[in-house]
Copies of this chain bind each other. A is one copy, B any other.
Amino acid sequence: MAKTMTLLWGAGSPPCWRVMIALEEKNLQGYNQKLLSFDKMEHKSKEVLDLNPRGQLPTFKHGNIIVNDSYAVCFYLENQFKSQGNKLIPDGQEEQAVMYQRMFEGLTFYDKLNAVIYYDWFVPEGERHDSALKRNKEALTTELKLWEGYLQKVCVCKGQTQTDTACFDLFKLAVFLLSAERYPKLGEYYNLLKERPSVKASWPSHWLENPKGQDTLKDI
């Protein structure tokens, strides 16, 4: 089945990695994949634009069906391969509610993280303000404390990474950039997550060797 799937991806992109982890979790190894270069603007190539008018990665195709948003791919794969591999959506009513809630809240985390890490990228030189970057950092700190608090209320255990985090809560991998002293529960979670077979199997060798943002985040 995986042989009819093609993933175009770029290194250093958490959404691409999310899809790769989901494919591993659903036992869909052996899909066609092609690593493209953001630096060479290959995400704006005709090959990508023909499948993805936004010119973004991941770009994913299954037979004739195209799904490009990384979360959309997770939902799609889960629904199409319900009984295969690991469940990405838990069965229990309460567990489902938490998983959906945290998944969409994770988007807010990403927004706040990117507003700090990529400030110079998003904001042209003449429009940058120290006050804005300071505010963005404060917002990210507040956000991280919220997540640290969520994890203090629940057991951080191996089983938890099984269903509710493998692909949807991938963002917590970003906490490797942060101080484990200030965010011990997130650190604990990260340590469990990085040992997951799907995460290990999809960890690109050249990924995160020079992680963007480590310096920017050191005082968060």
Interface residue from B75, B76, B97, B127 paired with A132 (Cβ < 8 Å): B127
The complex places the Cα of A53 from the Cα of B54 at a distance, in Å, of: 34
Residues of B within 8 A of A65 (CB): 93-94, 97
Q: How many copies does the complex hold?
A: 2
> CB-defined interface of A113-139 with B at 8 Å, one 1/0 digit per residue?
000000000011011010110000000
Cβ < 8 Å to B, chain A residues 27-76: 53-54, 62, 64-69, 71-73, 75-76
**Which of the candidate stretches A103-111, A156-164, A194-202 sits at the interface with the other chain?**
A103-111
- A80 interface residue per 8 A CB criterion: yes
- Which residues on B sit within 8 Å (CB–CB) of A94? 64-65
Q: Interface residues of A toward B: which range?
A: 35 or more
Query: In whole angstroms, how far apart are the Cα atoms of A88 and B94 in the complex?
Result: 20
CB-CB < 8 A to A207: which residues of B? none
**A residues engaging B (CB < 8 A)?**
53-54, 62, 64-69, 71-73, 75-76, 79-80, 93-94, 96-97, 100-101, 103-105, 107, 123-124, 126-127, 129, 131-132, 146, 149
Q: What 18 new A-B contacts, CB under 8 Å, besides A53-B149, A54-B105, A65-B97?
A: A53-B146, A62-B97, A67-B100, A68-B101, A69-B100, A69-B104, A69-B105, A72-B97, A72-B101, A72-B104, A73-B100, A76-B96, A76-B100, A80-B96, A107-B107, A123-B132, A124-B131, A127-B131
